[in-house]
Amino acid sequence: MGFKEQIDITRLPEHIAIIMDGNGRWAKNQGKFRAFGHESGVLSVKDIVEGCVDIGIKYLTVYAFSTENWNRPVEEVNALMELLITTINQETETLTKNNIRLNAIGDIASLPQKCIEDLKSAMDKTANNTHCTLTLALSYSAKWEIIEAAKKLAVQVKAGKIDIDEINEAHFSAQLTTINMPDPELMIRTSGEHRISNFLLWQMAYTELYFTDTLWPDFRREDLFEAIVDYQKRERRFGKISEQLN
Ligand code: IPE
Ligand code: IPE
Ligand code: MG
């Protein structure tokens, strides 16, 4: 029996977050340039998005470029930005056909102008799609996001719109870029690295973490389904004890 058949569709995670890692090593293993790994990684994104749509995942958030990734060699950064633009433009039609809404989180203003424009246009075109929301984390870092949220709250307090004592988890969450999305129940990181790398720190407070050695360009929907099956075997206690759970 394949992993897909083992999934209990009544207990699917609503939101899956993925740190797509290992493109560079995948390319290097074959004596190719890192950019080739990134290009191949796009095929994985497409397959995973289709896999999510197939089984009914409502939110998929993928870490495509971190704030820290700006520190990579300029040729690699440029190649990634080019790839982003090409991919967005190539895939918008398919997103629409599959009823997928494209969303982006991160410091979008720091991206190249062409990237901002094409991203915005693709987001506009897919804005009314309802089957699944695909969020690209671009120039994203969780610490950046949390600081931005703190600043927004400070402005509201200063303007007398809210009282300091009114600030609670819900209020804070509403300032984050993931507003209107549930927190991810499952986070997958490929490539054998066991770290969060500044991704969704607030939102992943109680997320189930799944790490696999598979490099991102080799990751396919069957691997996603395997991660979901693993997730469904876990007991999420949220601080309680087993006996308290139904
Ligand atoms: C992930 O793959 C893609 C991005 C960070 C943009 P990497 O490029 O980090 O690949 P490795 O980790 O060096 O193999
Ligand atoms: C995390 O991968 C960021 C993305 C996948 C976009 P990195 O490869 O940049 O992470 P570190 O530097 O190994 O932690
Ligand atoms: Mg990496």
Q: Which atom of ligand 2 is nearest to the CA of 24?
A: 8
Residues 72-117: tens digit of each pLDDT: 999 999 999 999 999 999 999 999 999 999 999 999 999 999 999 9
Helix (H) or strand (E) holding 63, with range, is: strand 59-66
Annotated active-site residue 183? The verdict is: no
> Catalytic pick from 29, 47, 69, 124?
69
Cβ-contact 217, 37 below 8 angstroms: yes
Question: What are the tokens at 31?
Answer: 């004596």
Which pLDDT does position 238 carry in this prediction? 97
Question: What are the tokens at 245?
Answer: 């759970």
Does the beta carbon of 44 sit less than 6 angstroms from any atom of ligand 2? no
Say yes or no to pLDDT of 233 above 90.
yes
Query: What one-character-per-residue DSSP string does 182-218 give?
Result: PPPSEEEE-TT----TTSSTTTTTTPEEEE--S-GGG
Helix (H) or strand (E) holding 18, with range, is: strand 15-19
Does the beta carbon of 193 sit less than 6 angstroms from any atom of ligand 2? yes
Which pLDDT does position 207 carry in this prediction? 98
Domains of the chain: 11-141+183-233 (3.40.1180.10)
Q: What is the residue with the minimal CA distance to atom 3 of ligand 2?
A: 66
179 confidence band (pLDDT: 50, 70, 90): very high
Ligand at minimal distance from the CA of 22 is: 1
26 is in an annotated binding site: yes
Does the beta carbon of 80 sit less than 6 angstroms from any atom of ligand 2? no
Kindly state the average pLDDT of the residues 132-157. 98
242 is in an annotated binding site: no
Residues 164-177: tens digit of each pLDDT: 999 999 999 999 99
Which pLDDT does position 246 carry in this prediction? 80
DSSP state for residue 126 in the 8-state scheme:
T
Does the beta carbon of 195 sit less than 6 angstroms from any atom of ligand 2? yes
Residues 189-222: tens digit of each pLDDT: 999 999 999 999 999 999 999 999 999 999 999 9
Q: Ligand 1 centroid to 207 CA: how many Å?
A: 22
Mean pLDDT taken over the chain: 98
Ligand at minimal distance from the CA of 26 is: 1
CA 175 to chain centre: 18
191 is in an annotated binding site: no
Residue 10: burial class (beta carbons within 10 Å; 0-12, 13-18, 19+): exposed
Which pLDDT does position 173 carry in this prediction? 98
Ligand at minimal distance from the CA of 138 is: 2
Mutation test of ligand 2: which of 197, 204, 216 has the most ligand atoms closer than 8 Å to its C-beta?
Answer: 197
Cβ-contact 22, 212 below 8 angstroms: no
Annotated active-site residue 98? The verdict is: no
**Other Cβ atoms closer than 10 A to 51:** 20
Cβ-contact 68, 57 below 8 angstroms: no
Q: How many helices (H) and strands (E) does the chain have?
A: 8, 6
